[in-house]
Amino acid sequence: MIAGNMRNVLEVAIKYVGAIGTFNQHNPEESSLVLGGFMVILKLGLELGRCFEEFQGILDRIHNHLLYLPMFAKILH
């Protein structure tokens, strides 16, 4: 849930990077470093959010299978 909300925020921020790139033309040496760093952080945030959601799905599937363990324990004893 939190990862989904964060992804929405990051995707909106990425939409405005083009406008920020226009300001980059004034002094490209320093501002390119700032803009590039900002883009890396945004894209890493999006990728980490995707990984977190995938990991959460895996844990949910494992949890569903763990519910059957008490039944198997009774059968084996």
pLDDT digits (tens, 9 = 90+) for 24-54: 676 677 777 777 787 788 888 888 888 888 8
Give the domain range for residue 65. 2-76
Phi, psi of 43 (to 5 degrees): -70, -35
Return the pLDDT at 58. Answer: 92
Alpha carbons 55 and 63: distance in angstroms, whole number: 12
Total number of domains constituting the chain: 1
Decide if 17 contacts 37 (C-beta within 8 A). no
Residue 4's pLDDT band, with cuts at 50, 70 and 90, is: low
The average confidence (pLDDT) of the chain is: 78
More confident residue, 5 or 63: 63
User: What does pTM read for this prediction?
Assistant: 0.55
Residue 37, C-beta contacts closer than 8 angstroms, at least 6 positions apart: none
Is the pLDDT score of 1 beyond 60? no
